[in-house]
Structure 1
């Protein structure tokens, strides 16, 4: 058996999508419907009839809360239990007569969700919300009624959950992104919302078998894409692993069954090895005087599947299917146990990770080591304390974020709180839901690197993060004013990628400001949203004026009068989610909207809805070409000269509209531009140089000279004599040992000025060749 295909389940490759309804009581066409219901009696909600099936309740289907109350009595008071029972009675009354598609009374679902929450020992308010989570959406119970019966905190939780359930599924990416944004922001306000929602989803997945195969696959895919990464980010490893395997079983049932059979067969074949390792480890730890709990564990089916797929292995080649967990009584004994194991079996080089000293971003702590066991089999060991084990299994649910005062937050709680707060910060700085989704996506799939400040404070950042990401992670102002960085006391560019263990120092200047180029090398959502926010708010007038010019140009090309009447503007604003025409101009100027598409939309409005609106004919359409945009080179951040070709006045130029970067100008013969024009032809427009340009433009030249004293000085003097400024010089060996290649970046007035410099330098003694240089 060899699984080498299908990357669709790799979290980093999935497009995060949200779904139609986030509980199992959705309508027939809802994307997440997992528990269709019927109600013989008249529904309280006017929408109720849409959610009914034709299933008749079974005669002996009974739902009881005995098991739930037994579990809750372990940690809740008698007064709390009384409130829980009251919530149950109300929910049972509201759902009376409804059944799930399996034929069970519908109330069994809220009870099951509450039981999962009770396993995490959630507080009485969360348990009550779990029991009541469907009544507002399903029975049209008002929030005011819940406040009166159960108090404001419970009503707020149920209201938050109900708002999530009102999300309508659409295939359009903007709608999906908006749905996902709503869910994350609800979680940011109160983490209990997502904990109850995860419990809801887990029970739905456990009972998914009654749905049609098509719905099973759809719901399982949504679970893998949305809920699995959230569970992982919050450190809920038990539910994370279970949701992964359940999703895998419904997305690829044949692969799941085949792999499951192979695992069962392997258990018998490898039982002797596992038993031998278990006995040896227990005996060795006992001899060392260590009291430890040793458990053998099997990797999840989905984890094995991913390893086979990603590394193109057959099942027989996956050797480390089994691992062992060792739980000791204190921190010091974790390392003592590690040394004892390394004395028993030889460790594999490069396979040791200390997540105790440097915890994962979701709070996980353990020592990981892979040893060569009997018969040469690699075996993974995880070593941790009881407290670390509790956090490893239950994550943020193991410590109560909302029960503690700010000053008593644990390290895990502080990190989780900071992440949830960052969602709100990103929301404030983000222009739309798609952008918000883009920023958050990276944070949900953390493959972290751990770096330090000069004062030894540790930060976890996504793999691929740069020094500039680090600056923004400390504070937005630090990022905005960053000019340079030192990594391990060595000066390096801000775009340098960080590695585990780097000591990073950021150098700032109050005069430094973000540039559009920064967006090309930041990795984190926080940095990207902060840079885009700055670029949107600075030089808005420039972007607005550019957008106005581009839209007018596009309208003329469609024979429309650029002066739009007020009635047409109102129709355009109603259909474009913009507040003003100026906002549309600004969006065009920064590349967020395409002028051609906006103009086409206006033409549709003219032809279909408003035939009386002025319509301008300007000759034959096929010969009607809009005037090019005039470039002066001093427009600011809304117009940039591309660093790959550094166009100068006199060059033939073209313009590219890039999202959140405005207009980027290339030379017409730039190979980068030609390649990108093929990929996105709609984003390119005609541009031309203006008259009376009053600034200098960067240009690169390369000079090959003889290796002789004073050559660089003579060339530099000649460039200065030609009234040009040298902004950068570097040298490298030429094609022979007698030659040197010198690269200059110089500032010139235009193409004629450059030609004069090249001509003068070319005639100097010792100069073999000179030409203009491009970085294509």
Structure 2
């Protein structure tokens, strides 16, 4: 099973209805549960521990409000029990206790206690506003929307629910904090579910909630959710690894104790007051290392690490130097996350040293304040909100990320696209780059210079034409590395092209490019969509001229505002012409008495004409860069989402692979007549490594009335041969054949052929 965050599983049925409750029937008023669902003797839930914990930081007035919320929730859930036989109210209490560990405010605690009453008991938001105030009702409402994530086969339904969750989080981060507390308690008690449901809920947790917890810096929950998910997704692997860790713990205790004593003694001698803790890496972390590096457990030496917490910024570096004097550091194993914090606000010095017996040992060094943020992330705002100014940078980073979700939502056409954009931003790995004025930016690993341009401002991205990285001119598609200094060169005449979508990495860049492409050349896309729909209708024996009554019904069910908008969506690949045509056929067959529409007779049916390609259609039709088709080639067309029609040669290997995966997205295309433009084509020439060879070939290409747009060379099949790669601009296959024939007869040329990237 894929454990990465790039694929979202089908969300689970509401946890309150499946993971917690023995009966899924919704009821407004309390009712006794069936005797078969209650495990005797009855278990009594108490809020004594919760109120004791809350009394440490909430006022008596706030505690009174919390108790009122508890009484209401208890009344609503009366008679409801969890799968374990416990009263259902024990779950909201447990969620509230987790929130109390972060010292969340009274409104969040009340929302934790009430988080299921709207979903399970049909309590209206208006009633919550009247009883507990608008802020609490808004939090519960946001959480209730999250609970409506259900298993759906339709990707749009999944994506819409995920979009609601992220936007609720963007409006108020307390929503996701309570949700994560809810998910954590459910994962802790997941053992009562069937193995299939355990795996399903654990997979969703690993792929959705774990990366969110990491992005918000909630490392304690992040690690616990990872291990709990691992235990339920791969129970045998988990048990085997846990057993091996337990055995190794005893074998390595002597080494750990020796390192701990030596470190404490060395720091004390240096006059440093520090808290030194030994820690064991998580089971999932060890498993990932074994899996990714193809190691056995015995080969994973650094399952233990040490954390050193000092009182101030300067002493963290002083402690680092002291440790490096005690044990030798491993080259390339030092990271300074204090000078350059992670995107979730995490700060520490990481260094790996060679300990006793040659064992590598990892150390994390941080200040007390950094430790608070490292463990609690954005929740530390509530834990330590009285310490003015300590978390300003973290709050700004979190706010910027949440704001970017809202920005993407404004530019995104639908929920599936929004989900696609956002998922990539949940990946934990980042690269840290600088502007020429030393301002730092964190971007996902694999991001390009164009991503950086859009991260600065949408207008900068739209007008980017080139970039300099570390004062060297490089293409916009260049992948960024840690420490790069980036300067973006812009021009008011530059505009995004569909090809940019192939090498941007961030959700913000992708959504901005797609938004721009939607708003330009709509006439081209509309005309293409109209032609594609007509072609699909004819293939189903339907008349492409649709009566008004049918158009009205189609628009009503397809959520398009006009037939022109529907054609545009088809032209840019957002909708499939074949699916729209099939929908029209269903409407005709189901409502034929009320729709004045006739099927075309069989005698009128011919194979639909292919779409004509002239190569100058603009952004709605593109020639694929993988095979660079030219007039005279047999060609096929691929409808690609938000990129329109992509034309490939019929023999293109990439096209053939994609046709197997998405056969419905391919249509017949053919070259039009009177094409009045030139086309790029790649050729390679194997030539003797001798003086003047390149000049002779270039002259011959020029004599054949072709233009050379790019040249590069590499070693040939032997040391006395060189392979020269040309990108030339030609008219058609006949023109290419003439060039190949002329170059082939030059002295020293051993081989010449047309070249494809695949």
Q: TM-score, normalised by structure 2?
A: 0.89
Shift of 1:542: 0.8
Deviates more, 1:507-516 or 1:45-54: 45-54
The corresponding residue for 1:11 is: none
Task: Sort the Cα spacing of 1:434 and 1:52 in 2 relative to 1 into closer, same or farther, 3 A.
Answer: farther
**Using the alignment, how far apart are the partners of 1:266 and 1:732 within structure 2?**
52
Q: Would the aligned equivalents of 1:31 and 1:169 in 2 still touch at CA under 8 Å?
A: no
SS at 1:87 equivalent: helix
Shift of 1:430: 1.5
Q: Would the aligned equivalents of 2:32 and 2:79 in 1 still touch at CA under 8 Å?
A: no
Task: Sort the Cα spacing of 1:720 and 1:618 in 2 relative to 1 into closer, same or farther, 3 A.
Answer: farther
Deviates more, 1:397-406 or 1:489-498: 397-406
Task: Sort the Cα spacing of 1:681 and 1:405 in 2 relative to 1 into closer, same or farther, 3 A.
Answer: farther
Equivalent residue for 1:393, pick from 356, 375, 395: 375
Q: Would the aligned equivalents of 1:484 and 1:507 in 2 still touch at CA under 8 Å?
A: yes
Q: Deviations over 1:609-644 (max 9, x none)?
A: 426756767676999421111122221100112233
SS at 2:16 equivalent: coil
Task: Sort the Cα spacing of 1:304 and 1:536 in 2 relative to 1 into closer, same or farther, 3 A.
Answer: same
The corresponding residue for 1:709 is: 691
Shift of 1:71: 1.8
Task: Sort the Cα spacing of 1:503 and 1:96 in 2 relative to 1 into closer, same or farther, 3 A.
Answer: same
Shift of 1:741: 6.5
**Using the alignment, how far apart are the partners of 1:184 and 1:631 within structure 2?**
42
Q: Would the aligned equivalents of 2:17 and 2:120 in 1 still touch at CA under 8 Å?
A: no
Task: Sort the Cα spacing of 1:736 and 1:51 in 2 relative to 1 into closer, same or farther, 3 A.
Answer: farther
Q: Deviations over 1:407-456 (max 9, x none)?
A: 99711111111111111111111222122111111111221111111111
2:725 is the counterpart of 1:743: yes
Task: Sort the Cα spacing of 1:270 and 1:34 in 2 relative to 1 into closer, same or farther, 3 A.
Answer: farther
Deviates more, 1:338-347 or 1:166-175: 166-175
Q: Would the aligned equivalents of 1:27 and 1:51 in 2 still touch at CA under 8 Å?
A: no
1:352-751 alignment, distance < 5 Å: 352-400=334-382, 410-610=392-592, 624-700=606-682, 725-729=707-711, 744-751=726-733
Deviates more, 1:234-243 or 1:753-762: 753-762
**Using the alignment, how far apart are the partners of 2:691 and 2:303 within structure 1?**
68
Q: Would the aligned equivalents of 1:701 and 1:772 in 2 still touch at CA under 8 Å?
A: yes
Shift of 1:762: 7.3
Q: Would the aligned equivalents of 1:5 and 1:309 in 2 still touch at CA under 8 Å?
A: no
Shift of 1:775: 4.3
Task: Sort the Cα spacing of 1:57 and 1:710 in 2 relative to 1 into closer, same or farther, 3 A.
Answer: closer
**Using the alignment, how far apart are the partners of 2:743 and 2:457 within structure 1?**
49
Q: Would the aligned equivalents of 1:26 and 1:51 in 2 still touch at CA under 8 Å?
A: no
Task: Sort the Cα spacing of 1:247 and 1:644 in 2 relative to 1 into closer, same or farther, 3 A.
Answer: closer
Shift of 1:344: 1.3
Shift of 1:394: 0.4
**Using the alignment, how far apart are the partners of 2:596 and 2:358 within structure 1?**
83
**Using the alignment, how far apart are the partners of 1:672 and 1:163 within structure 2?**
41
Shift of 1:253: 2.9
Shift of 1:77: 2.4
1:73-152 alignment, distance < 5 Å: 73-152=55-134
Q: TM-score, normalised by structure 1?
A: 0.87
**Using the alignment, how far apart are the partners of 1:24 and 1:590 within structure 2?**
29
Equivalent residue for 1:223, pick from 205, 210, 218: 205
Shift of 1:493: 0.9
Task: Sort the Cα spacing of 1:704 and 1:213 in 2 relative to 1 into closer, same or farther, 3 A.
Answer: closer
Q: Deviations over 1:374-397 (max 9, x none)?
A: 222222111111001111110001
**Using the alignment, how far apart are the partners of 1:288 and 1:406 within structure 2?**
31
Q: Would the aligned equivalents of 1:99 and 1:105 in 2 still touch at CA under 8 Å?
A: yes
Q: Deviations over 1:30-62 (max 9, x none)?
A: 554467xxxxxxxxx9645999853x4866643
**Using the alignment, how far apart are the partners of 1:136 and 1:5 within structure 2?**
30
**Using the alignment, how far apart are the partners of 1:191 and 1:685 within structure 2?**
46
Q: Would the aligned equivalents of 2:11 and 2:151 in 1 still touch at CA under 8 Å?
A: no
The corresponding residue for 1:4 is: 4
**Using the alignment, how far apart are the partners of 2:4 and 2:574 within structure 1?**
39
Equivalent residue for 2:183, pick from 190, 201, 217: 201
Q: Deviations over 1:278-314 (max 9, x none)?
A: 1111111111111011111111222222223333333
Equivalent residue for 1:46, pick from 26, 36, 40: 26
Q: Deviations over 1:527-585 (max 9, x none)?
A: 11111111122111111110110111121122110011233333433443433332332
Shift of 1:729: 4.8
SS at 1:745 equivalent: strand
Q: Would the aligned equivalents of 2:104 and 2:383 in 1 still touch at CA under 8 Å?
A: no
Q: Would the aligned equivalents of 2:466 and 2:474 in 1 still touch at CA under 8 Å?
A: yes
SS at 2:395 equivalent: helix
Deviates more, 1:145-154 or 1:601-610: 601-610
**Using the alignment, how far apart are the partners of 2:325 and 2:507 within structure 1?**
44
**Using the alignment, how far apart are the partners of 1:643 and 1:24 within structure 2?**
37
Deviates more, 1:396-405 or 1:622-631: 396-405
Deviates more, 1:240-249 or 1:751-760: 751-760
Task: Sort the Cα spacing of 1:676 and 1:254 in 2 relative to 1 into closer, same or farther, 3 A.
Answer: closer
Deviates more, 1:164-173 or 1:237-246: 164-173
Task: Sort the Cα spacing of 1:710 and 1:618 in 2 relative to 1 into closer, same or farther, 3 A.
Answer: farther
Shift of 1:478: 1.1
1:12-31 alignment, distance < 5 Å: 30=17
Task: Sort the Cα spacing of 1:89 and 1:662 in 2 relative to 1 into closer, same or farther, 3 A.
Answer: same
RMSD: 3.9
Task: Sort the Cα spacing of 1:716 and 1:221 in 2 relative to 1 into closer, same or farther, 3 A.
Answer: closer
**Using the alignment, how far apart are the partners of 1:250 and 1:144 within structure 2?**
39
The count of residues paired between Structure 1 and Structure 2 equals 751
Q: Deviations over 1:180-223 (max 9, x none)?
A: 11111100100000111111122222223333333333322222
Task: Sort the Cα spacing of 1:563 and 1:709 in 2 relative to 1 into closer, same or farther, 3 A.
Answer: same
Shift of 1:110: 2.1
Task: Sort the Cα spacing of 1:759 and 1:606 in 2 relative to 1 into closer, same or farther, 3 A.
Answer: same
Task: Sort the Cα spacing of 1:407 and 1:710 in 2 relative to 1 into closer, same or farther, 3 A.
Answer: same
Shift of 1:120: 0.5
